[in-house]
Structure 1
Amino acid sequence: MTDQPISRRAWRLPSSDTVIGRAFNGLVTSPKALVAAVLCIALVLIATFGPWLAPQNPYDLAAIDFFDARLPPMSPSMTGSVYLLGTDGQGRDMLSAMIYGLRTSLVVGLLSGVVALLIGTALGLVAAYFGGRIDALIMRVVDLMLGLPAILVALMLLATLGQGMWKVVLALVLVQWAQFARAVRAAALIERGKEYIEAAVSLGLSKRRILFGHMLPNCMAPIIVVGTLQVASAISAEATLSFLGIGLPITEPSLGLLISNGYQTLLSGQYWISVYPGLLLLVLVFSINIVGDRLREVLNPRFVGR
């Protein structure tokens, strides 16, 4: 038995000929986008390991001391520990509440983005491939959804269904899928006229295989761009809904709900209850948008060569 040398290919950067390679190279060659991507990864890791990183479970009544309510940052607790970012009106540690709120906001944003991506991508491919009445019907629905105010539609739906994470996700999916359908249809129309699709049809391949095995991989660029931007949009929309009191319930607080809980105390000088969650939400959404804008510059053919 002889030792085989490790192939250098395993350690190479992604090829710039692939969508993933172009996206990766585009991010690492832009300092601003690279910093934003690192921030996004760090926030996702913090949210993932939140229960282990947070100083306390802010929603465990046994761990909350109501005598510690509205303490400013760096205040000592009754047990001798320090509240780095202060406490809210219920005596919950703000740092812990923000970590848990970040976790909830990311779950809602990513989940609604993925579901909207799946629905919109499938409908966009079908509309582009079959054309005719099917295309016209799907695109009229897309035009209708894009013409409606997204927040207003979500508000009306949640006012009917009530509060809850899955209901918020459903409302966000309803207002997001049309963006994916329009972008994927535009890319798929270009691919439909290429020779490899004609060859696949002449070989008798099934429509499912042509759509998802051949056309879909070549439409990944707009899917990645729209998906990134829509996650940020979903997080912002969920924060707005929760701030208005119609999004997530108190038992599943997000960053928007944390901001709502403390905005009434801003004038009394207790700024930390709303300002710190607001800054975290700003950093999260701003970072995702910077990454999305950079991916659009790199992957959108109209920007190539600029």
Structure 2
Amino acid sequence: MSRDGILVRALRGLLGSPKATIAAIVCLLLFAAAILAPVLAPQNPYDLGQIDMFDARLPPGAEGYSGMTYWLGTDAQGRDMLSAMLYGLRTSLSVGVTAGVLALLVGTALGLIAAYAGGRLDAFVMRVVDLMLGFPTILIALMILVVFGQGTWKVIIALVIVQWAYFARAVRGAALVEAGKDYVEAARCLGLSPARILAMHILPNCLPPLIIIGTIQVATAIAAEATLSFLGIGLPITEPSLGLLIANGYQVLLAGQTWISVYPGLLLLVLVFSINVVGDRLRQVLNPRLAT
């Protein structure tokens, strides 16, 4: 099936399920809100000139000393929670999508090369994949960040290291099936280079599992980054994400100021759940064995 055919099939599959359609719309709205955060946010929550400490920990709907109404309340620094959540959503999505795309590129390249080359290279790559998949994802990322410290790109690299194996295993399995088919043998006989055979002939037939795993791994990366940031070893406080916003309110959660953690937590839950619903529907549509 061509690339366009796969995308059309995936789109029709999403529209064919009311639950998946709603989840896809929610994902689009959240992505749009993240992109337009500087426009939609009532204030820049990380501009000290716009923050008043006298407005700290105001409940939802309260009016601050500046006359501004905080519909979702404020945190301990006096930042508008709605604005902080929009900016945090932007950071979380940036890290999750970037890590997912880079892991897809690395895993796809290694999976294709291993399947096409075979022999010792294939065995070596798959043993590394087995080793990576034998440990919990969050544990490996935790150890990496403990060694190298905080930082946006350090978190992204750590997530790529723990996620590329999922793509490599899926692509390698699909590529092995395609590598033995007649059209690949014909391409070899025509003298096409291995790189062109992999890119133009084998890779397009590996797209269905890549789309499925890519969607789910983006949600996994967002949740993993939030966990790492909540533990204090993920993103620095200068680049806050939803995980850091949840951590900021954890200390006052039992004091009744629940909105500081609960609202970012609900937003993270809706985001991850919606992406997973879309990924689950794509798995049913693009994998005929799961159609029933």
> TM-score of the superposition, structure 1-length normalised?
0.93
1:227 maps to what in 2? 214
Give the aligned partner of residue 32 of structure 2.
Answer: 45
> Quick one: which amino acid aligns to residue 152 of structure 1?
L
Give the letter for the 1:57 counterpart.
N
Tell me how far 1:300 sits from its aligned partner: 1.2
CA contact (8 A) 2:24 2:278 kept: yes
Q: Which amino acid aligns with 2:125?
A: I
Aligned to 2:7: 20
Post-superposition offset of 1:238: 0.3
Alignment match, 1:83 = 70
Structure with higher helix content: 2
Alpha carbons 1:16, 1:22 under 8 Å: kept: no
1:61 aligns to what? 48
SS at match of 1:267: helix
Deviations 1:168-204 (A, max 9, x none): 0010000000000001111111111111111101100
Moved more, 274-283 or 150-159: 150-159
C-alpha distance in 1 between matches for 2:166 and 2:142 = 19
- Tell me the SS of whatever aligns to 1:18: helix
1:174 to 158, 161, 179: 161
1:42-99 deviation line (CA, Å, top 9, x unaligned)? 0000000111110000000000000000000001122222101000000000000000
Distance (whole Å) between structure 2 residues aligned to residue 19 and residue 130 of structure 1 = 27
* Residue of structure 2 in register with 1:244 after alignment: 231
Aligned to 1:144: 131
Compute the RMSD of aligned alpha carbons. Answer: 1.2
Tell me the amino acid that sits aligned with residue 84 of structure 1. Answer: W
User: Runs of 4 or more off by more than 4 Å in structure 1?
Assistant: none
State, as a whole percentage, how many aligned pairs show the same letter: 70
Matched, 1:71 2:97: no
Matched, 1:292 2:287: no
Q: CA deviation at 1:295?
A: 0.3
- Alpha carbons of 1:114 and 1:17: their partners in 2 closer, same or farther (altered >3 Å)? closer
Unaligned runs of 5+ in 2: none
Distance, in Å, in 1 between the alignment partners of 2:132 and 2:26 is: 32
* Counterpart-to-counterpart distance in 1, 2:29 and 2:37: 12
Distance 2:286 2:175 in 1: 15
Does 1:123 pair with 2:110?
Answer: yes
Amino acid aligned to 1:211? L
Task: State the match for 2:99 in structure 1.
Answer: 112
Q: Whole-Å Cα distance in 2 between the matches of residues 74 and 104 of structure 1?
A: 26
What is the one-letter code of the residue matched to 1:140? R
Counterpart CA distance in 2 for 1:286 and 1:47 is 17
Residues 264-296 of structure 1, C-alpha deviations (whole Å, 9 max, x = no match) = 211111010000000000000000000000000
Query: Offset of 1:17 from its aligned partner?
Result: 8.1
**Aligned equivalents of 1:248 and 1:303: distance in 2?**
38
Secondary structure of 1:302's counterpart equals helix
SS of alignment partner, residue 254 of structure 2: coil
Task: Tell me, yes or no, if the aligned pair for 1:75 and 1:83 is still in contact at 8 Å.
Answer: yes
Preserved CA contact (<8 Å) 1:16 1:25: no
Q: Determine whether 1:303 maps to 2:258.
A: no
| Distance 1:194-1:301 versus aligned 2 partners, 3 A rule | farther
Query: Is contact 2:3–2:204 with CA below 8 Å preserved after alignment?
Result: no
1: CA distance, partners of 2:79 / 2:148: 30
Residue number in structure 1 paired with 2:202? 215
**Secondary structure in structure 2 of the residue aligned to 1:252:** coil
Over alpha carbons, which structure has the higher Rg? 1
Maintained 8 Å contact 2:116/2:175: yes
